[in-house]
Amino acid sequence: MNQKELKKALSKLPLGDVRYFDSIGSTNNEALAWATTDAKDLSVVIADEQTAGRGRLDRKWFTPKGTALAFSLILRPTAEEKLYLTRIVGLGALAVADVLRTRGLVAQIKWPNDVLLNGRKVAGILVESVWSGEEVDCVVIGIGVNVLKGSVPPVDLLQFPATSLEDALGQEVERGRVLHDILAGIIALRAHLGTDSFIASWEKALAFRGESVQAEHGDGSRVTGKLLGLEPDGSLRISNEDGKSVTVRFGDVRLRPHG
């Protein structure tokens, strides 16, 4: 992957500017800094390697050289899109899941921000915002996808099993093509962000729907029950052990199958 190849692969998309790095700390950090200056809507930061890739709550995200996709897309949301900011993590996750499905894979979203293949994590999404007082100015959608086998971290570093596209497909995949397709998917889905059908598609792609799950918050509190679906803001709806419908909001939540 290099700047020239990428420019060619992405040339037909209505992107802002594209910045490519052979190696960087975190594409999200670069995009957040750029977003506070002159970044246009749909500008992208892409890196071949991240040395300080981040997950939620500063957990580590591994992006070894030459194997993965790591990029951050800057959105300048319209007034209407600002009404649906909590759906943006779904926008990223759904675009990734859709692209994997067009390659014949059974991709599911482990709410809120993981994409799974065969019950293993293949991609993670990290959405961060730049605020101007009370108003959101920019949203950065950071996406990491394990494309080639070498991108999958060692088991002892993981809380959840991981896989790559190459593992799932049994053949190598071109990273530029996957990147193109995910960006095209985000651009297409973005037009539907505020619709009921967006939530319906997101809901349909959820892992563990109708199954027993446990959502654990950072403070140790837990909700156990059947995963029902999503609220209009993208929060998770679970029927708890007393049969009552409860809402699990975004934040430091870990979801796993239960029982």
Phi, psi of 87 (to 5 degrees): -90, -5
What six digits make up the tokens of 243? Answer: 């049969």
Applying CB under 6 A, among 53, 77, 92, 234 the residue interacting with ligand BT5 is 53
Q: How far is the CB of 70 from ligand BT5 (least distance, A)?
A: 4
Helical spans, DSSP H, in 112-174: 165-169
Output the six-digit token pair for 47. 């890196």
Instruction: Provide the 10 A C-beta neighbour count for residue 110.
Output: 22
Q: Between 232 and 251, whose beta carbon lies closer to ligand BT5?
A: 251
Alpha helix ranges (H) inside 64-117: 88-102
148 or 162: CB nearest ligand BT5? 162
Helix 88-102 crosses helix 175-190 at what angle (to 10 degrees)? Answer: 130
**Would you give the DSSP letter of residue 230?**
E
Residues 9-48 that bind ligand BT5 (CB under 6 A): 26-28
Shortest reach from residue 206's CB to ligand BT5, in Å: 15
3-state secondary structure of 209: coil
Assess 225 for contact with ligand BT5 (CB under 6 A): no
Contacts with ligand BT5, 129-158, as mask; x by CB under 6 A: -------------xxx-x----x-x----x
How many residues comprise the chain? 259
Among 19, 54, 87, 180, binds ligand BT5 (CB under 6 A): 54
Does 108 help bind ligand BT5 (rule: CB under 6 A)? no
User: Which two three-digit tokens encode residue 110?
Assistant: 């482990």
| Closest residue to ligand BT5 using C-beta atoms | 124
Contact residues toward ligand BT5 (CB under 6 A) are 26-28, 50, 53-56, 59-62, 70-72, 113-114, 121, 124-126, 142-144, 146, 151, 153, 158-159, 162
